[in-house]
Chains A and B, each alone.
Chain A
Amino acid sequence: MMSVADCGGGDNGAGTADGSTTSDAGTGDGSTQGDAVGSADGGDASTIVAACDLTYVDAVLAAITTFESAIGTTLTAATEYDDSANSTTQLDVYKTNWSNLPPGAISFSRPGITLSELSSANQINAFNGLVQAALSSAGYTDFTGVLAADDYLGYTKNANGYGAELYHVAVVGTPSETGLWTLMFGGHHMAFNVTFNAACSYPTPHHIGVEPRTQFTSNDHYASTYGTAVYPSASYQVLATKASAMVAIFSALSSAELASAFLTGQTFNDILIGPVEANTGLYSAVTAKFDAIASSSDRGLLVSSLSSTEQNLVTATIQEYVGDYDTATASRLLADYESGYAGTYVAWANASGTATTTPPDVTESGTYMRIDGPRVWIEIACQAGIVIQGQSHYHMMFRDKTYDYYNELSGSAGNDAGTSMVGGGNDGGGPPGDGGGGPPGDGGGGPPGDGGMVDP
């Protein structure tokens, strides 16, 4: 039915004014390209078709091949989690194992190998080639900037637990032109999760952040330790264009619009929907938050009510995020998101919870801005510095409410009441209380009518 058209653009559900994902993209009728390529969830498995142009996926596949031959079989085995050797459940957990936090501050391990395990110019160059194949030049600029910033925290500011060598690369699932698999680059302030299905790419959830927010000069610690650079020696100011594109939206608003975009009484010391699904392999915790957003009375200012100039600023901001990936993916997503402006809001908040007449100020901790559409979700939080105290730093989140992880994680209505909930008495001793408390009806479960998620 729509297996190709769907991928090429045209989010048929994007225009719904209530912002729900109910009719999005046909996942509810089981006719996504996932079915067309014969995945397990029913449908006609007789033909295997790539639904998107092969240029991008082939470039990434070639870069993976080059990288894996450079690192050898042992490291490859640690990098790639094949379908044959892992259950879907396990693969899903790997896909959700990303975070904004440095490795020492999280309770799980990111999948794959770290840059500290690369030991020759050939390996490191192959890694750089893989990142450049997966990301656009804008995305690669963010990538190198975050690595340079972490080396700066670790070896200029001498904070423990930071450094470019701690970043991970992983391939979850068996990479192919037709199958479902995810390429992950992750570490402190970084989660690139690019899921491929039938040659189309779905690059969310995408988290990016940086400390310091202001300009710094790279110390090139990785290059001097490992012999080859993973980021250019340069002066950096990371994520500045993303932040200023977002600020520009609010700066262009009239004072009445600015006030109506303000989330009165709400404050944010971080992004709202960060890695809430981490280490679960489930989407339900995310769904719960999106449902609460959808049902909240105050979501900000409708984009469709803005002038075309103002709408263009919204588009330019979205472009800053989708533009981190190949042009085909970027234009497909951008078209989808633009078509949903009738249900898309822009909103902002500050530390006091009370509106000001001046637009958001990224130098202030507590400044928060977001774009919240039927599918698109972009938020920027300016929060207090950790290593560099007294200076705010960015956390950013880009999600697609329908297509995070290509919509393949379990967590839709009715199948997950117990998501991250463990029963009151489940102590491994086996006894009565086991599983005692999956809270019935609690927000863990997706709401009825969500319909956006495909059953596993």
Chain B
Amino acid sequence: MDAQKVDMYLISNNKFFTPYQLGVLRDYLIKLDDSKSFALHSAELKDPTMMLIVSIIAGSLGIDRFLIGDTGMGIGKLLTCGGLGIWWLVDLFLIMDRTKEVNFNRTMALIV
């Protein structure tokens, strides 16, 4: 892909990834064939800030974990009143990084 296109993509999507992941993605996207760029744009990325809001409001029902695809953990939170409130609290600090990790894995799965 064109370096300018890659940079545009990374600038417009930087909130979905950590700075380290952006660096790794850039290396891969530069080498990416143009025919795969459509798949890249079709990747369903979750907004970490939105996930944090969901986690605050409905985290003890595990909805935050369901939304990012961690179904097992979602059920676990749902069945334990958000891990007796502790898991809910801990997830407030973890959910944004986990969302970025899921976004990165989804994007990598499409381009590698």
- Do A and B bind? no
